[in-house]
Structure 1
Amino acid sequence: MEWVVVVAVIVMLALSLLKVHVIFAIIIAGIIAGLMSGESLIRSVELLIEGMGGQANTALSYILLGVFAAMISYTGITSLLVKNLINKLTGKRTMLVLSIAVIASLSQNLIPVHIAFIPILIPPLLKIFDQMKLDRRAVASALTFGLKAPYVMLPVGFGLIFHQTIQEGMQNNGIGITISETTKALLLPGIGMIVGLLIAVFITYRKDRVAPQYLPNNYVEDKIENVQFNRKHLFTIIAILIALTSQIITESLVVGALAGIISMVALFCTPLSEGDAFVQKGVTMMGTIAFVMLVASGFGHILTETGSIQALVESSSALLKSNHLLIAFILLLVGLLITIGIGSSFGTIPIIAALYVPICLEAGFSPIATATLIGTAAALGDAGSPASDSTLGPTSGLSVDGKHHHIWDTCVPTFLHYNIPLFIFGLIASIIF
């Protein structure tokens, strides 16, 4: 039973590397996990479908954020941003990539649109990337960094939700901890991600690269309008702030996105008559990602309900003695396998906390060290997972012209540059604390 998770994850990754679409890769891997656990084919499919509801809130959030992003794009304010990036950073590849990383980081706290900004911001820049012979894998690494590092290190916006989830998971299993302590616990793993970004930008992907054409180029380039900042843009910023405030107060992405959408209409930034067009564009941008998250939730449900994850942790803990370094290494490795399969660091925390806390208590880990292991294990695998929004988001913007492959150009680079330093720095932090 303990090998079910390992085999299922390997199957999913192997199919993805063979360029099978991630949705089919997850479904096939999930069915295999069910069959290996002794379930029938029909029951395996039923478990997959039952578990899809676990990410229904996230999927709806992504759709609504897509509509909100489409409305923001309609006002032309993103054209201002793209135009300024082109004017100031054309020919400055490193600065352009780092600027994209900063913008992506702001999407997790200051402007809580998460990945919805990527299909709006990145496609107009693709022509510039090609002219500069910029390696798109560097851009994918920058985007994934911005989508992950802020919530790992900072308890603000999405990060507050992540840190609170760790706090609740530990408290529910017998260890009390404060938000400030979880922030301290995850500071060093977050620094590891910064190291990974710098390696990707300044070493691995610094050379010229002509993007290969994977798929036929059916993309029609949007013209960058020569717009000036106006009253509508001011009201758009107000709507964004309303969305941010609503999300922080209610701790709900759905409420935040709805508040932003309603504000855009109420402040006459976008016409109500164009509502159908905005919804269609939002679904087009975010629909595939939302559905992948649903299927990934079903995959995780199969592994949980069949007891596969529990068996994996129990078999791993049976090998451990009193060596903290060995215990931390095994727990992080198990976390990597679990998260890369489920594809959601947020959704993985309750599972990991329930399994890790008893082991850490018995082994004598401090609360901060336990939080380090739980937070790092949850973040591990998110970068590099074919089913993660941290990889699906960058691909959604970089692949619109058929010159970027989800697995080889997003998942593999982000796995190498973020999971490895996260693992190493998380391991060190768990021993220090």
Structure 2
Amino acid sequence: MKLFPVVCCLLLFACSKPGDPADPDPGPGPGPGPGPDNGNKELTITSVSPESAEAGILVIKGTGFNATASQNLVSIGPHTTVVENATTTQLDITMPASLPQGDHDITIRANSKTVTKTKAFHRIGWLVSNFAGTGVWDQTDGPAATASFRWPSGLIMDNAGNLFVTDLHKIRKITPQGVVSTVAGGNASGFRDGDAANARFNTLNALVMDANRNIYVADEMNHVIRRISATGVVSTVAGKSEEFGYVDGIGTDARFAMPYGLALNAGGTHLYVGDHMNHRIRRIELANSKVTTVAGDGQNAHRDGNGLTAGIPSPGGITFDSDGNLYIAEKGAGYVRKMTPNGDVTTIGGNLSANTAPTNIVIDKDKNTYVAYSGTAKIKKYTPAGVETNFAGNNFGTGEEDGDAQVIFFQRPEGMVLQQDAQGKMTFYVCDALRKKIKKITKE
């Protein structure tokens, strides 16, 4: 049996509440029938511990258990657990992924007897919880617990901790206190510049904010880049509405094909665009709206190289690190790419067979890269040395959505934000587009 490391991914520590009796009186109750040499033993719980078990396993010790695992029914709070191994004095159970912190009753039914013991549980490791959204397809503003979204995809955070979310044809805002409001756009698709409330968009993706609180957003199906000023005025920065194409040029003379990812350089003077269907990285000089192509040969083929000789199939989300390297989620081929300031494009991880449709990237202070893969519904972590591990998500599914990050199921992780304080504590926010929710990942 493998020793359990304290900082790994086991869900919960359990400890007795002050004043709990060590051996509660057994009460009558339904349960599996008696097994050999078990039926006359008193059913008790004497200890609950994770200290010497495999990750994800809770060890319950006591008396009167059934030596056949399936003949013990164990529940923690409202959750029925799986008994992996059993003796008459020990049960090894798999913890429910979504069990919250706090006091919960452990109830065991064995040999026609029932015993219950209350324990205080404390989670450790990376944990996923719901931050905003009910899962209902709607766009209701209000408290995060009752607000609704249609297709949350792009996500950023300002210096005050406000989140901004692209939600189909709208931009929404979530305050640190969990209040959701609409910043710009309407329920229906369209194209209109002007005041934010009357402006219209058509399927929004990534967004960024500059130092003056101007928001830039990729208006994918209008094939343009839009700006929402700090005073709430929407204008077109580059591209022409509903004109799909590839042209470098100034402002509306330029053409894009379903722009997806956006990233500002450190000085805030240039906006980089993952031009999805043109298979290129474009750059906009914000002072004059001049658009140029900086990487990608326009072919739907993966290839390392410099600048325009590199192949970047269907770039998605993009982001800069502190050294000025641009990281690219290559949706078309399933890779994660890195472009240096001198234009060299290399591959740092991912592949089509194992990881599909990387959508967005965030980077921590130690240069670890976290990539949301919408195709496999996982978030992967890449170290600076290129070592890949699974950070969150257990493949695509409709199972538990809150709890241990290694166990829960996303449905389509898209936009992602990393908040990291001076002490290095990290909090992730993730748009789960298909669930129509914003999820939060924290470490306990």
The verdict on a shared fold, with TM-score over 0.5 as the criterion, is no
Higher RCO (CA < 8 A, seq sep 6+) = 1
Q: Counting strand residues as a fraction of each chain, which structure ranks higher? A: 2
> Which protein has the bigger helix share?
1
Q: TM-score, normalised by structure 1?
A: 0.23
